[in-house]
Chain A
């Protein structure tokens, strides 16, 4: 528990809580935008930007590294769009290409910088699996403030996000600026990824986005509560993973966050109040016992046939 003894400890935990909450919220947006995999591609795409930003400036200052990561991730997002619109390649394949090419490039650059840069660069390795304990006070502030900004954007436009995700065509029809919403969505997604990669790492950052949202889905039928639940699970996993990773010297943070959130997912999958496997099995058994208790909405709909074949 070396971290808890340091003066930074509580600040690191607080900022991990904010990061987890922000990730959980953005993950819910990505889930309904059907872009869970996109978050994975973007976090991998951030790595070369981090290394290049460091190579150019020679200092390991988080704001500069975040800027590099954001640029690199945005280029990745743009490339995915470009590949999809200018070829027959589907989006999932395009994301697969961008993810591996950017990550490979990042590792290659990291190796070169490590060989030439001397001892100053050792901390960059932490961006792969995450090293929350390596954050200094100013890193914590940067992460916390940007995380709060992301949370505020989701909170303020809650009803707009819901409309945009549920029925984008209708949204556009009643005048919701869809171009702005698209940019805002990509903006908050990239922002939450780049502020998280130092602590969680580029490889596993997407887990903090995807797993809380999927877990929360098992507990509620309301978008609002899914958003809140996902924020709660994300925040919890962020704090728990960070705490566990401080128990051993040099233990990475990312994997422990993934293990924590996966534990919540497993419980949700089995015992979730909505669609949880155990609950569903009990419901089915009860229905078998009373075959007459059919739901009222099971009325057959008579499909009209047009005059066409």
Chain B
């Protein structure tokens, strides 16, 4: 089965080009980190691929078909800060939203769906928090709920926007365990990632992005000091060479 193929994808934001001619192919069963400086277009790349942000040109296909025809096969985890956690609902209800496509529009979720959502929460170590108000969850717990919502989608391809940003260490480990397990089941996962220290541990592929693809390939080959410097430009602290 063919994976994700992106060809010459370009997008702009307020008349500035934020993505220029982005092309890459993602193999099935891979765990890819998207790494680059602020304003490099990492989130925009995910949104443009999902058609949440308009593209100027280019094509995105998954398994040979346009992405818009494959929505049920794609899971998306937006940035945690993109929603209002004051919204009156509980953790289980948020996870259930991942099943709305499967439930069918204008239909109500059934007990079976509820069961699936509970299982996904349990998988993220959140079984005891099913009926907890989302406003009363910690940042890490909110992120786990978002992950659980993506899990119930049972997608083939996952896009995740900074799932590890601002979470506690235990949540980071729980999320990485889940991502590795998804990869083990032959799913492809693309993750916007900020922490250069952990890139080599976490991802088998890396996309170095700064408006255009600076480098893309297997982490061991691509994630070199030279390439990262070239992506970030001056002012980068590389590993622990510079005392902080």
Task: Indicate whether A175 sits within 8 Å of B71 (C-beta atoms), given known contacts A308-B38, A308-B237.
Answer: yes
Residues of B within 8 A of A165 (CB): 87
Give complex CA distance A232, B90 in Å: 23
Task: Indicate whether A226 sits within 8 Å of B88 (C-beta atoms), given known contacts A157-B106, A303-B166, A307-B238.
Answer: yes
A308 lies within 8 A of B47 (CB):
no
* Distance in Å: Cβ of A178 to nearest Cβ of chain B: 9
A295 lies within 8 A of B136 (CB):
yes
Kindly state the interface size class of chain B when it binds its partner: 35 or more
B226 at the interface (CB under 8 A from A): no
| Contact of A170 (CB < 8 Å), options: B90, B97, B197 | B97
A306 at the interface (CB under 8 A from B): yes
* Distance in Å: Cβ of A135 to nearest Cβ of chain B: 33
A173 lies within 8 A of B71 (CB):
yes
Digitize B76-113: 1 where CB-to-A-CB distance is under 8 Å, 0 elsewhere: 10100011100111100110011011010110110000
A307 lies within 8 A of B168 (CB):
no
How many A-B pairs with Cβ below 8 Å?
120
A302 at the interface (CB under 8 A from B): yes
Give complex CA distance A226, B100 in Å: 21
A160 lies within 8 A of B106 (CB):
yes
Digitize A146-186: 1 where CB-to-B-CB distance is under 8 Å, 0 elsewhere: 00000000001101101101110110111110000000000
A222 lies within 8 A of B89 (CB):
yes
Residues of B within 8 A of A299 (CB): 138, 168
* Distance in Å: Cβ of A114 to nearest Cβ of chain B: 46
Number of interface residues of A (CB under 8 A): 38
B236 at the interface (CB under 8 A from A): yes
* Distance in Å: Cβ of B118 to nearest Cβ of chain A: 18
Residues of B within 8 A of A249 (CB): none
* Distance in Å: Cβ of B93 to nearest Cβ of chain A: 8
A223 lies within 8 A of B88 (CB):
yes
Give complex CA distance A223, B94 in Å: 12
B33 at the interface (CB under 8 A from A): no
| Contact of A174 (CB < 8 Å), options: B71, B171, B237, B239 | B71
B residues sitting closer than 8 Å to A (CB atoms) are 37-38, 47, 50-52, 71-72, 74, 76, 78, 82-84, 87-90, 93-94, 97-98, 100-101, 103, 105-106, 108-109, 132-133, 135-141, 149, 153, 164-169, 171-172, 194-197, 232, 235-239
Q: With contacts A297-B141, A302-B168 known, what are 19 further pairs, Cβ within 8 A?
A: A159-B109, A160-B100, A160-B105, A163-B100, A166-B97, A170-B78, A172-B50, A172-B52, A173-B50, A173-B71, A173-B76, A173-B78, A174-B72, A174-B153, A221-B90, A295-B136, A300-B168, A304-B167, A307-B197
